[in-house]
Amino acid sequence: MVDNLDTKSIEHSKLHIQKLLLLSIAMIGTMTTWFSMTAVLPELIELWSLSSTQASFVTIMVQIGFVLGSLIFAFFNLPDRINLSILFFWSAISAGTSTIIAAFVVDSYASALFFRFITGIALSGVYGPGLKLMSTWFRIRRGMALGFVVGALTLGSATPHLFRIFSLGSWELVLVISGIASIVAGIIVRITISNGPYPLPKATFDAWAIPRALRHKPVRLANYGYFGHMWELYAMWAWFGLFFTSSLELRGVENASTLGSFVTFVVIASGFIGAWFGGIFADKFGRERITVWSLGTSGVIAFSIGFFYEGPVWFLLLLGIIWGISIIADSAQFSALITEHGDQRYIGSLLTFQLAVGFTLTAIVILLIPIFESMVGWRFVFLLLVPGPLFGFVAMLRMKSEDKRRGDDS
């Protein structure tokens, strides 16, 4: 009898891990479309004679599209009313198709921005719904699972920089490969993943669901922590490559652009380790604790990395890797906190709302970076990011204190 129960438990665990791996592979494939054009910015800057501000909009238009799509999805509670596998499938297909079409149709800066906007809208049906879908497969180890998925997202975001190295100078090829990866990812999810054994209750349309949820202090603080985290994250991902390349060029390093792409891939991809182990430690030691550690570490590096701009390349790379690990280690935990403290009927909408506001902030700071760089140079440009992790750090310390107080009261 015990042997049968143990065997059933092992099979149950294997099924969960299988779904986690499949969704993570799909997330990698889909998220390659996000930075597909950002990775080839050096080519586009030369092709269309773009200024730094114009170049920033190549990434910002994805963020704007994502925010608009997320707000529409959240307002109509679509992630809580539509089959998540179907929503992910069509969103991934749309993101991939728009990216492939862009490779063949885009012939100007304006048309590039249009297709980046469409891709952003499509990706709003991937990120939040994907996290909710994974939440239905894990309850006890949810932090680990969501951390692994966010790690996969991180790896997917880094992969276009790797595609660029082997693209033989063709920016169009980078887009085509990214688009195909997204389409394949959508098919994987549609065929292999459905709602898990811990489904969240279905919702009816309620325009006041999100304002009502935000009156709950733990939900509010989790959002504050996430917003501080997002002020830093995507701006670092978007601009670290040019920061590092500029440092190499200052030293007269040959093939600085190619080496910069490889280093950017390594730095961003290292976040996979941070997100995964961040989830494991969060399940064991507490989500608030890991977010405080992560925000504190990344904030310190954002403040200090510029002082080593002309230092040894290996040390700048080491700081970049530590930054890449710490900057994403907490990301999934803000989502996990929402799934634990929010109204269970509207978790998908709450996650999508959290993402929408967070990505609005990313668009603002991505735009501000080149403006700030023109004033202080690449050496100190990342000082602009420091207020984000500082704000999030304070919010999560408050949440940690609230949890301790509730524990003492009980």
* pLDDT for the residue 39: 87
Q: Which residue has the higher pLDDT, 370 or 350?
A: 370
Contact between 57 and 238 (Cβ < 8 Å)? no
Q: What digits encode the pLDDT tens for the residues 16-55?
A: 889 999 999 999 999 999 989 988 888 898 899 988 888 8
Q: Are 297 and 322 in contact (CB under 8 A)?
A: yes
For domain 8-403, say whether CATH 3.40.30.10 is its number.
no
Q: CA of 167: how far to CAs of 182, 204, 257, 269, in Å?
A: 18, 47, 14, 19
pLDDT score of 5: 40
- Amino acid in position 270: S
Whole-number pLDDT of residue 119: 96
How far CA 165 is from CA of 40, 157, 265, 333, in Å, comes to 10, 15, 10, 33
Of the candidates 379, 244, 365, 376, the residue with the CA atom closest to the CA atom of residue 303: 379
Domain residue spans of the chain = 8-403
Distance between CA atoms of residues 222 and 204, nearest Å: 25
Give the Cα separation of 367 and 240 in Å (integer): 14
- Give the rounded percent of residues in the chain with a pLDDT score beyond 70: 89
Q: Enter the pTM of the model.
A: 0.78
136-158 residue pLDDT tens: 888 777 778 888 888 898 889 88
